[in-house]
Amino acid sequence: MTVTMEKEHLTEDLLKRLLASSSVESYLDTHETVNTTLTEFLRELTDARRLKRSEVARESGLNPTVVYDIFAGKSRPGRDHAIMLALGIGCTLCETQRLLRLDSVAELWCKDRRDAIVIWCIKHGMSRACTDDELYRLGERTLLGTNSLR
């Protein structure tokens, strides 16, 4: 299930519009910027899936206190925890990338071996535990721990 959001334009299209604008104000007046916070987006995702934070904590492998603090806006997850949250919520790749952007961390990049594995796992609807199994099997650092076969 994906979160029902207003149709957004592709970033590349918006960049072209911004660069072609006569002034930054004329671009900003088109209201194409996004003002959603990370906590708002997490709430949208969990509400759409009718998930409780306790379920997100269990499925993500994160400490419940950490999850509650992130949802309350008291702390930011950081990249691996954000990926774990996305897996715990059952996010699509697009939703995961947006979650990472809203956390101000690097998006998943298919040219990076570890990221490519995570992308594949997300695309195939794998859980956080199964994603960690794949990372471990292929010799990469897992999300929950720091172990690898390398």
Reported confidence tier of residue 1, pLDDT bands at 50, 70, 90: very low
> What confidence tens digit (pLDDT) does each residue in 56-69 have?
999 999 999 999 99
Instruction: State the chain's mean pLDDT as an integer.
Output: 89
> What confidence tens digit (pLDDT) does each residue in 88-104 have?
999 999 999 999 999 99
Q: How far is CA 132 from CA 23, 61, 65, 73, 82, in A?
A: 47, 10, 22, 26, 14
CA-closest candidate to residue 69, choices 132, 59, 78, 50: 78
Specify the pTM.
0.82
Reported confidence tier of residue 7, pLDDT bands at 50, 70, 90: low
CA 59 to chain centre: 15
**DSSP single-letter state for residue 74:** S
> 143 burial class (0-12, 13-18, 19+ CB within 10 angstroms)?
buried
CA-closest candidate to residue 85, choices 125, 45, 119: 45
CB atoms inside a 10 Å sphere around CB 82: 24
> 61 burial class (0-12, 13-18, 19+ CB within 10 angstroms)?
buried
Confirm if 105 and 78 have CB atoms less than 8 A apart. Answer: yes
Res. 37: pLDDT tops 50: yes
Confirm if 46 and 61 have CB atoms less than 8 A apart. Answer: no
Length of the chain counted residue by residue: 150
